[in-house]
Structure 1
Amino acid sequence: MNLEKGIFEALEKLNKPLKAREIAKFLGIPVEERAELREKLKELSKEGKLVKLKGAKYALPEKLNLIVGKLCVYREGYGFVDPINGGKGVFVPGRNMNGAMNGDIVAVEIVKEFKDGRKEGKIVSVIERAIKKVVGRVEKTRRYCFVIPEDKRIRYDILLTSEDCEKVENGDYVVAEIISYPSETRGPVGRLLENLGKTGPKLDIELIIRKYDLPVEFPPEALEEAEKISDVVIEEDLKGRVDLREQLCFTIDGENARDFDDAVAIEKLSDGNYKLYVHIADVSHYVKPGSALDREAYKRGTSVYFPDRCIPMLPEKLSNGICSLNPNVDRLTFTCEMVINKKGIVVDYKIYESVIHSKARLTYTIAQKIIDGDKEAIDKFPHVVESLKTMYELAQILYKKRYKRGSLDFDLPEPVVVLSTEGEPIDIYRAERLWAHRIIEEFMIAANETVAEYMFWTDYPSVYRIHESPDREKLQEFLNFVRSLGIRVPSVKNDIQPKMLQKILEEVEGKSEEKLVNYLMLRTMARAKYSPDNVGHFGLASTYYTHFTSPIRRYADLQLHRQVKMALNGEFNSENIPLWEEKLELICKHVTERSINADEAERDVIELKKLQFAKKHIGEVFEAMITGISEQGLYIETIEQLIPGFIHVANLRNDYYICIPKQYCLIGEKTRTIFRIGDRLLVRLINVDVENRKADFDFVRKLK
């Protein structure tokens, strides 16, 4: 009997919410065999196919006019439920949360529907809790003590047990486990797990590590496995590999990089074509499926990079040792060898296991100096000069081809935060994007596309990196704004093409609105994710795309390597293909979530350090750009240090300002002065609230 089908049949025919025993009775399942039914009911609830109601009853969501989805709570207290089965988000006001917290899977009842399609809802049940631990600051009263969460999306203070109250002092930062969740009438209760002590620059990052539940220590069994792996490539490892140790290949990475995933080599062929080799660390040779190392790498999903440290996916012995393509040592690799013509088209390729011996470790700065003809850099690495010039030549061809097809190149400044040994931010500056960066970017994109296309046409289960087309409504709103800037925009009749958005980026290049348009366009985009189904990559205007090039720091790439090896070795069959399709569904969902979590943690640290830096500069004047408008005032970002902040309308003196959202501006009633998104201003920093991530500015004057 198909259990899932039977459960749905019971709920349909009896047409009311049912307990597990009532469903079992309908299906004729004896008492001693009901464990599987209970597990299936839990699973279907988690997937949003059923809703668990009070009294342990189960119902079909559509019968109760309910939508099941993930709740995203905003700092202001309201939230949106993103339906599991797709569709528009449902707005939930703070008063309708019913004890639900950020990230929970919830069932929401629609209470209002608007003409424009928007929906407002009320949460009726929490299906799965997302938050198990909370990081925050202790506040003590005479009778109680509470944990005030660091994450402002958590709307409740956590009451600590009286026993735990005695173990903490006012102002301590702690990690608490929730033992009783909030309801409409009472708040949550927590149990003390860890007392981190008083705040300080070093502790700040520790708090964020715990806030995002990032595992720092490796379990002993994973470290034991790593210890057993040889520090050098042994003869036995070379069986069946293409020996490329004599080849001139090298790595190009950042100044502070310690794990080198990729090495590159190039040949110019007699017919004018290029032969490009992209060698990727063969992590799958060392990390076997189901091993302790594999389980921990899967749990982490990705490495996480902060200004002062890296939380790696794999232990250092692998990530910086045997798996890292260090110079002047043999290393096992997985190679994508491509023949690319003068138009940038891959006309032939091979994918195979190999062994290399990198001949140099270049930084982006050194590589750029060699490309620019710097004598000192050339004298230091004379053996790579010719290869690097050919690489530069090919990268330009690949970039032009990608640009021609409509690939979107967002030119948003990346902040680099420099910390003192104590963790204090001492400098923030914009990262420079060199052609040396572009060479590696273009070569990695070419390898990712080639491997993705190979796997697509084999029709075997695989991992793709997909990026869906933007939401039409969000896009229309963005295009309206662009038109308001006086930029010509064609109307969208059918599917939006990346080429059209690229034209907009071209129009604003070098203009004052450039950064803003880049930023707003990025906000209209769907989030890229991992999927076993290939739907292409909108942002890159790519039909086939995956992540093949970083298996040291991304589990998705490690898993892909295994799938490609199975395809190359003919290990797929009619029995294991359906199993792999199911398994990859779960893996892709998990690694996407871990990747988003890591991005948010990295962004949180950068924002925190920006504000700590700003705190030392109160009273100073900065050049800034308006990035957002509201009735309360102007959202801004400083041009150099990229510090986000706010100017309240009260600080826009001598007039009363009206917000016109559709024109993205504030207009003065008397003076008719206009403040529009993208305008440049001189502003004075007047206050910084690091804890609530806020910086307040005063308006000095407009800049032309």
Structure 2
Amino acid sequence: MSRKNSKKSDRKRTRNFDEYKGVLEITRSGMGFVVVTGLETDILVRPNDFNTALHGDTVRVQVDPDKTGKRMQGVVVDVLERKQMEFVGRLEMNKGYAFFIAEGNKKIPDIFIPQASFNEAQDGDRVVVKIKEWEKDTKKRPVGEVISILDAEDSNDVAMKEILLENGFPLGFSDEVLEEAARIPDQISQDEINKRKDFREILTFTIDPVDAKDFDDALSLRVLKNGNYEIGVHIADVSHYVVPDTALDEMAYQKATSVYLPDRVNPMLPEHISNVLCSLRPNEDKLTFSAVFQMTPKGQVKQYWIGKTAIHSDHRFSYEEVQEIIEKEDGLYRDEILLLNSIAQRLRKKRFESGAINFSSTEVRFKLDEKGKPIGIIVKESKEAHQLIEEFMLLANKYVAENISKIEINKKPIPFPYRVHDLPSEEKLLPFMAFARKFGHKFDTSTPEKIAESFNTMLKDVHGKPEQHVLEQLGIRTMAKAVYTSENIGHYGLGFEHYCHFTSPIRRYPDIMVHRVVEQVINKSIKPDKKMDQKCKHSSERERAAMDAERAANKYKQVEYMKDFVGEEFEGVISGVAAFGFWVETIEHKCEGMVSITSLAEYDEFRLVDTDYSLVGMRSGRKFRMGDRVRIKVIAANLEKRQLDYEWVLTATLEEQEEENKSKQKRKKKKTGE
């Protein structure tokens, strides 16, 4: 069912040794394992053989095929790419030097800090240190410098910074990068505008979250003489400012994405670029890359044009403001907003009819006080204002990818960073189908299109029913992860044959890559990028790292918020099951915690039933199934582990309670031998 090719392992032969490329993972015990794509088992590496490699680094490991035994063992011979160069920990001062002792579970050698690199830090200070040099094949310790002193009392700030560093995102930018950004002139020359299509006199506006500062997309609209509409999707022309072979471009590539935590943004680009030069702020001339569509009132694309433009945004809307205009049919640019929304809804309807899968989405955000402490939960739903922007961004991304897919050089496709989404795997789909069948939902697996159609029918049928949440969540888990690749296999979830990311270059590096290829095509100066696959893989990896960071930060905030409710009871929904317990998400707060199977031992002995996504009592038959509503008590909130522990609260009729109490007494007597 999958369209992906099986991958061979990254292996080559060196003299009498096999060499592999992989990622080093170091366990709490200090033992290392190199994970190699295509190898069924990881390669064991002992601590003395790390050769300066740290957890998460991409390494080259050498294995003696004559000494593999039961398990392959290797030695790291080279560090190809560092995941992390900055660390949080404490300083231990000595005369003329200091040692940095890192915090966290992963084993990191103490870092030598010469006095010239203290940067005003004192003995015992909690600091961020960056490794400056580390000679391999020696017993010498790494040498570093203090880059910032942390406020020991601001535990939230320290936690967020640790999460970013753990996932390989530097906290700031080097002086060289900041200087490059500062040297870029703010003024746009008339000569540059003359090279572009001028949209500055056409009505244009942005729609973004209320707290956004980096506006990287805008919409323009005008009525044509033939009764159709010209709708422009204008995207900040970041590639005009961030050019290859500069420190600025290198840093943007290494990060590959901005990271959005509950109380901060770790931007891909310096603020001067993301919030000033490239942000499509109102009442300012800006340089953009645009996809411009001539459309009928019914949303049919008659013509399109892709190229460089200059725009002048007339107004900056928030999503909430636009939603109010849509609902009340009144407000600034009312007619234009309602027209765009009407077309967007038609595009959306057509997309789902053509095979896109309609998973609903809600976003949970924390309301924070001035110190970053969560004081409330905000659940945001996707409304028509969000869908308005979403549909036009999808349209632009689709047409840009489709346009590039038609062009070949030397009878080969141009290397291009497509955004692809593979078919669901049979391994994940079959158990889900069996589970959905228990609720009366049947799946047609004869074609990928029929599978998508079955998903949409199910999602429509379960809307508003108790099982909606569980079937949506499990359905999402059957899906493959979307990735960047030059192999264009289409985007299954969106139902698009061609798709890319063109619309967010301020916060995503692949969008910059797309802009560069498109510009080469427009200028007829195509230079195929031989490293495109490598860049796509890197971008996908950094995207996953950003998602891990965002999840960890959200979990931290959940734990921090629920600390105030230890001992209290809440209604929740079982959000996952495992052999060691089940997870519950509270209905009121959307905060997830674990009910351990050991805490259920007094009621029964429970076993995991994979096919039913449930834990079942061996004697009582009591079932805890994903999607069930339960009552829980918050019993612990561990910020260091970012972990919430819940306890199941028995809620039953008087008869059931009496029966349960009798069973408890019997078990107690049997245990004590009475």
TM range (shorter): 0.7 to 0.9
Counterpart for residue 556 of structure 2: 608
- Does 2:394 align with 1:394? no
Residues 1:591 and 2:539 are matched in the alignment = yes
Aligned equivalent of 1:438:
387
1:78 Cα deviation from its structure 2 partner: 11
1:629: Cα distance to partner?
A: 1.9
Match of 1:415 in 2: 364
Output the CA distance in 2 between the equivalents of 1:425 and 1:271: 54
| Amino acid aligned to 1:407 | A
State whether residues 113 and 144 of structure 2, in contact with CA within 8 Å, keep that contact through their aligned partners in structure 1.
no
1:671/1:190 Cα in 2 relative to 1: closer, same or farther (>3 Å)?
farther
Which of these residues, 640, 645, 649, is aligned with residue 597 of structure 2?
649
1:691 paired to 2:653:
no
CA separation in 2, counterparts of 1:388 and 1:286? 31
Structure 2 gaps, min length 5: 1-7, 93-98, 409-413, 654-674
Superposed displacement of residue 334, structure 1? 1.4
TM-superposed CA distance for 1:336, in Å, is: 0.6
1:456 is displaced (CA, Å) by: 0.6
- Superposed, 1:246-265 pairs within 5 Å as 246-265=201-220
Report how many aligned residue pairs link the two structures: 617
Whether the 8 Å contact between 1:632 and 1:649 is mirrored in structure 2 is yes
CA contact (8 A) 1:79 1:91 kept: no
1:77·1:93 contact (CA, 8 Å) conserved in 2? Answer: no
- How far residue 103 of structure 1 moved from its aligned partner, in angstroms, is 5.7
- Which segment drifts farther, 196-205 or 396-405? 196-205
1:628 aligns with 2:583: no
What's 1:451 paired with? 400
Instruction: Say which of 502, 508, 512 aligns to 2:456.
Output: 502
CA 158–292 in structure 1, closer or farther in 2 if over 3 Å, else same: closer
Aligned mates of 1:544, 1:454 — CA distance in 2: 9
Question: Aligned ranges for residues 2-401 of structure 1 at < 5 Å?
Answer: 48-50=10-12, 57=15, 59-60=17-18, 69-70=22-23, 83-84=36-37, 86=38, 90=41, 101-102=55-56, 104=58, 122-126=72-76, 129=79, 133=85, 135=87, 149-150=103-104, 154=106, 156=107, 194=146, 196=150, 198=152, 200-267=155-222, 273-341=228-296, 344-373=299-328, 378=331, 381=332, 384-401=333-350
Matched residue of 2:340: which SS?
helix
Q: Which residue is equivalent to 1:554?
A: 508
Partners of 1:125 and 1:700 in 2: how far apart? 51
Structure 1 stretches of 5 or more lacking a match?
Answer: 1-45, 62-66, 112-119, 182-186
Aligned equivalents of 2:180 and 2:112: distance in 1?
40
Distance apart, 1:501 and its partner CA: 3.0
How does 1:423-434 map onto structure 2 within 5 Å? 423-434=372-383
User: Any conservation in 1 of the 2:88–2:102 contact (CA below 8 Å)?
Assistant: yes
Alpha-carbon contact 1:81-1:90 (below 8 Å) kept:
no
Letter in 2 for 1:643: C
The change in CA–CA distance for 1:494 and 1:539 in structure 2 (over 3 A counts) is: closer
Instruction: Report the alpha carbon displacement of residue 483 of structure 1 after superposing the two structures with TM.
Output: 2.9
Displacement of 1:50 in angstroms is: 1.4
The 10-residue stretch of structure 1 (435-444 or 649-658) with the greater mean CA deviation from structure 2: 649-658
Deviations 1:263-291 (A, max 9, x none): 10234557665432101111222222223
8 Å CA contact retained: 2:361, 2:382: no
Deviation at 1:564, TM superposition (A): 0.6
8 Å contact 1:636–1:645 — kept in the other structure? yes
The question of whether the paired residues in 2 share the 8 Å contact of 1:466 and 1:536 is answered with: yes
Q: Is the 8 A contact 1:266 1:277 kept in 2?
A: yes
Per the alignment, residue 474 of structure 1 pairs with 428
1:563 Cα deviation from its structure 2 partner:
0.9
Q: What is the distance in 1 between the residues matched to 2:448 and 2:281? A: 49
Offset from partner CA, 1:34-63 (integer Å, 9 cap, x none): xxxxxxxxxxxx9823166xxxx55457xx
Q: Is the 8 A contact 1:138 1:168 kept in 2?
A: no
Secondary structure of the residue aligned to 1:431 is strand
For 1:50, the aligned partner's letter is: K
Tell me, yes or no, if the aligned pair for 2:101 and 2:111 is still in contact at 8 Å.
yes
**2: CA distance between counterparts of 1:81 and 1:225?**
37
Q: Does 1:679 align with 2:628?
A: yes
Cα distance, 1:132 vs structure 2: 5.3
Q: Tell me the CA shift for residue 599 of structure 1.
A: 1.9
TM score, norm. by length of structure 1: 0.77
CA change 1:75–1:469 in 2 (3 A) is farther
Tell me by how many angstroms 1:89 deviates.
5.5
SS at match of 2:394: helix
Q: Percent identity?
A: 34
Query: Please, what is the CA RMSD of the aligned residues?
Result: 4.0
Shift of 1:537: 1.0
8 Å CA contact 1:547, 1:560 repeated in 2: yes
How far did residue 204 of structure 1 move?
Answer: 1.4
Q: Look up the SS of the partner of 2:419 in the other structure.
A: strand
Equivalence for 1:665 = 614
